[in-house]
Structure 1
Amino acid sequence: MLIRQLHEWDISPTAAVALQRQLAAKLRLDQSLPENAVRTIAGVDLSPPDAESGRVHGAAVVVAWPSLEVVEVSTAEGIADFPYVPGLLSFREAPILLEALAGLRTKPDVILVDGQGTAHPRQFGMACHLGLAIDVPTIGCAKSRLVGHHQEPDEEKGAWTHLMHHREPIGAVVRTRTGVRPIYVSPGNNIDLDSSVRWALACSPRYRVPVPTRLAHRAAAGESLL
Structure 2
Amino acid sequence: MTVDEAVALQEKLAPQVVRQTPEGFSPRVAVGLDVAYATDSDQLAAAAVAVDMSTLDSVEEAVVLGTTDFPYVPGLFAFRELPSLLRAIEQLTVTPDVLVCDGQGLAHPRRFGLACHAGVVTGLPSIGVGKQALGQYDMPGDDRGDWTPLVDDGEVVGRALRTQRRVKPVFVSIGHRMDLDTATDLVLRLSPRYRQPETTRAADQAGRRALAGGVGVQDVAD
Both proteins in one fold, TM over 0.5? yes
Task: Identify the residue that residue 111 of structure 2 maps to in structure 1.
Answer: 123
Task: Identify the residue that residue 10 of structure 2 maps to in structure 1.
Answer: 20
Task: Identify the residue that residue 180 of structure 1 maps to in structure 2.
Answer: 167
Q: Structure 1 unaligned runs (5+)?
A: 1-10
Does the 8 A contact of 1:50 with 1:56 survive in 2? no
Amino acid at match of 1:99: R
Find the partner of 1:37 among 19, 26, 31. 26
Task: Identify the residue that residue 215 of structure 1 maps to in structure 2.
Answer: 202
Task: Identify the residue that residue 165 of structure 1 maps to in structure 2.
Answer: 152
Query: What SS does structure 2 have at the residue aligned with 1:127?
Result: helix
Task: Identify the residue that residue 110 of structure 1 maps to in structure 2.
Answer: 98
* 1:33-182 superposed matches below 5 A: 37-52=26-41, 54-145=42-133, 147-182=134-169
Alpha-carbon displacement from aligned partner over 1:141-198 (angstroms, at most 9, x marks no partner): 01111x2111111010000111011211001100001000000000000111111111
Query: What SS does structure 1 have at the residue aligned with 2:16?
Result: coil
Does the 8 A contact of 1:33 with 1:191 survive in 2? no
What is the deviation of 1:107? 1.0
Alpha-carbon displacement from aligned partner over 1:74-133 (angstroms, at most 9, x marks no partner): 110111110000000001111111111111111111111000011111111000111111
Does the 8 A contact of 2:53 with 2:190 survive in 1? no
What is the deviation of 1:51? 2.8
Query: What SS does structure 2 have at the residue aligned with 1:24?
Result: helix
Query: What SS does structure 2 have at the residue aligned with 1:221?
Result: helix
Alignment CA distance shift 1:32-1:161 (3 Å): farther
Q: Structure 2 unaligned runs (5+)?
A: 211-217
Does the 8 A contact of 1:82 with 1:91 survive in 2? yes
Query: What SS does structure 1 have at the residue aligned with 2:178?
Result: coil
Instruction: Tell me the C-alpha RMSD between the 2 structures.
Output: 1.5
Q: TM-score, normalised by structure 2?
A: 0.92
Amino acid at match of 2:20: D
Does the 8 A contact of 1:33 with 1:195 survive in 2? no
Identity among equivalent pairs (%): 39
Amino acid at match of 2:196: V
Query: What SS does structure 1 have at the residue aligned with 2:12?
Result: helix
Does the 8 A contact of 1:158 with 1:176 survive in 2? yes
Q: Distance in 2 between matches of 1:61 and 1:149?
A: 31
